[in-house]
Structures are given as structure tokens and as C-alpha cells.
Amino acid sequence: MLEPVVCVHGGAWDIPENLWTDSIEGVKLAARRGYQVLDDGGSVVDAAEAAVVVLEDCPAFDAGKGSVLTYDEEVEMDAIIMRGSGLEAGAVAAIRNIANPVKVARLIMEKSPHILLAGEGANKFAEAHGVKQVDPDTLVTPDARLELEKYKTFNKAVYSLFNKSDQKGCDTVGCVVVGSSGATAAATSTGGITAKMPGRVGDSPIVGAGAYADDQTGAVSTTGHGESIIKVCLARHIVSLIEKGQTPKDSIRDSLQYMESRVKGFGGAIAVSRIGQVATHFSTPRMPWAYVKARQLHFGMHPDQHCTEEL
């Protein structure tokens, strides 16, 4: 029996100061919630889903409520959930009018023969399984409107979103869990990037890019510049290094360095190993994270910041 861990992140990017408090409070709440579910006898997948639902419901993050807007001023969300036993996965891409995309991802994993459903098909599946549609306006925050307005006003090419100095709105959320028996799960959810083209699928719903969970190794959730993460299969890359015997911390750091050297991309990740190690790391200015292990709550957001609290 090992100490179970529930670890979450709120996205790797240059978070402005006005979001610092809400971001930290959000990840702390989500980690506590996930751990509570595990403590109450829930599965690692239950815990990962519950933690991500908290983050999707928090408007400070670009996922669920608080998602950024596409160029056509709509919310289109991506999410994934993965169970490390059997490498099972479910995911949605460019889904609309749903409060908690991670719940639909889980339904796909458990109630369909497929892994990824996109666009209208994802919405049809959700409807067929009793998931309530919400008014799209309930997902949109004034900040998301302002952000898109700013991009349109300055008539910036979407390309300009992607250099480090101007990286915005990559506050994807995610969770990794390892239970006392070594079972693992991972989940990631996002609204994507401001002014993205309609139908754009980022890294988050891609197995091996936005998340990976394998009970033989560990679980990972990533965040950052989606197209870069896709190109290097970041989540699978991190898991491969854990598989080789590296610590989760070194595995994330080496993989982020690999991504930077190969495609000049920045991001962050959280990881747990099947033996109960946990790590968070990022190459962006900030990434809010929190985890619970041995009834201690750990959290931080700035590089090298590590705070602890009794649960």
C-alpha cells in the first residue's frame, strides 16, 4: 500500500497578477476535492474527474466556465480522461454548450467503443447520454470577451499568440491520481487559445499529448502551447522517461527541454509514478499547481515556490 496522491494544475502561462489568488485557491480546492473522493472510496478516475470538474467550474481557468473564445466568438472545448489500467481513454474535441466536458469524456470512455468524438458528434453523444446542454453565455466570462476583443482590435495574426512573450490563455487544467494500490488516472480540460479557428483541436484531448496514464508507469497531464505539445507527444515522452527509471521531476524537466529544443515550445506538466512519486514543473513564467499526499496539501505557482498546509 502506498500513499495516494491527487495532483492538479491550472495551466502553464504568464498569469497576470489579478488572477494569482483565484488560481491558487482554485487548484487547492480541486486537489482537496479529488483527494476527498479517493478518501471516500472513489476510484482514481472518480477522483481525477471530480478535481477537473472543480477547475472547469472555476471561471479563473480556461476550461468549462471561463473558456476563451474562438475567432467566431464561440466556446469550443477539449477534454480527456484516461485510466491507467488497460490504457482506456475517452475524449471530446471542439464540444459546445457543455458545463463539464470531462464528464462527457468519461462517458465516451465507458459507454462507447471510441476514444475521441469531435464537434457536433460529441454534442450528439452527450445529449444521447443525458448530459444537459447549457446556454453558451453561461460559459463566457467578461475577461474572455475582452481578450478576444483585444486580439481583434489589434488585428493580430493568430500566429502572434505563439511566442513566449505574448503567450496568453493557455490555462488548461488537469489532474493526475495514483491510488494506494498503484492504480493511476489522468484528466485534462481546456477552452484552447483565444481567437483559435473553429474546429481547432489542441493537445488536450490527444492521448500521449495532453495526457497519459499507464498503471505500469505513471500518469501525466500537460499544458502549454498545444501545437508544440502535439509535435513531441509530450505526455507520452514524459511517461517514457519515467519508464526508463527517471524520477517524475527529471522526466518532466527533460521533456520540456526537449520540446523547447525541438520546436521552441513552452509549457508545464504534472506527473505521478506508479510507486507514488509526484512532481510538477513548467518552462513558462508560472503554473498554479496543488497536490495532496499523506494528508498534507502542497501548492505553488511561481518557479521554485512550494508551500504546504495541513489538509
Q: 83: annotated binding-site residue?
A: no
Q: Binding residue for its own copies (CB under 8 A) from 32, 200, 286, 298?
A: 200
Residue 86 binds its own copies, judged by CB under 8 A: yes
- Under rule CB under 8 A, residue 115 binds its own copies: yes
**CB of 112 or CB of 133, closer to its own copies:** 112
**Rule CB under 8 A: is residue 136 a binding residue for its own copies?**
no
**Type and span of the H or E element at 109:** helix 101-111
Query: Residue 293 in 3-state DSSP?
Result: strand
Chain-centre distance for alpha carbon 109: 17
251 contacts 120 by C-beta, under 8 angstroms: no
Residue 199 found at the interface with its own copies (CB under 8 A): yes
Question: How deeply is 142 buried, as exposed, middle or buried, from its count of CB atoms within 10 A (0-12, 13-18, 19+)?
Answer: exposed
Per the annotation, does 223 bind a ligand? yes
Whole-angstrom distance, CA of residue 273 vs CA of residue 264? 27
Specify the 3-state DSSP secondary structure of 28. helix
- Decide if residue 75 touches its own copies (CB under 8 A): no
Stretch that binds its own copies, among 16-24, 41-49, 122-130, 280-288 (CB under 8 A): 122-130
Q: Which is nearer to its own copies, 103 or 196 (CB)?
A: 196
**Which class for 213: exposed (0-12), middle (13-18), buried (19 or more C-beta within 10 A)?**
buried
Q: Residue count at the site for its own copies (CB under 8 A)?
A: 44
Q: Count other Cβ atoms within 10 Å, centred on residue 33.
A: 20
DSSP per position, 65-104: TT----TTS---EEEEEEETGGGEEEEEEEE-S-S-HHHH
Rg value, the chain, Cα: 17
Known binder of ligand: residue 200? Answer: yes
The correct pick among 63, 81, 93, 102 for binding its own copies (CB under 8 A) is 93
Query: Per CB under 8 A, does 118 bind its own copies?
Result: yes
Q: Which of 21, 70, 172, 194 is catalytic?
A: 172
Placement of cell 476527498 in the chain: 36
Residue 122 within binding range of its own copies, rule CB under 8 A: yes
Q: Kindly tell me which of 99 and 118 has the beta carbon lying closer to its own copies.
A: 118
To the query of whether residue 172 is one of the catalytic residues in this protein, the response is yes
Q: Is 117 in the site for its own copies (CB under 8 A)?
A: yes
Nearest-CA neighbor of 116 among 69, 186, 220, 107? 107
Please give the residues from 240 up to 259 whose contact with its own copies meets the rule CB under 8 A: 240
From 159, 245, 304, 310, residue interacting with its own copies (rule: CB under 8 A) = 159
Q: Is 263 in the site for its own copies (CB under 8 A)?
A: yes
Residue from the set 24, 27, 89, 211 that interacts with its own copies by CB under 8 A:
89
Q: What is the 3-state secondary structure (H, E, C) of 142-198?
A: HHHHHHHHHHHHCCCCHHHHHCHHHCCCCCCEEEEEECCCCCEEEEEEECCCCCCCC
Could you say whether residue 35 binds its own copies (CB under 8 A)?
no
In the bound state with its own copies, the residue whose beta carbon lies nearer, of 30 and 170, is 170
The site for its own copies (CB under 8 A) is made up of: 86-89, 93-94, 112-122, 124-125, 157-159, 161-162, 196-201, 206-209, 226-227, 230-233, 236, 240, 262-263
Catalytic residues: 172
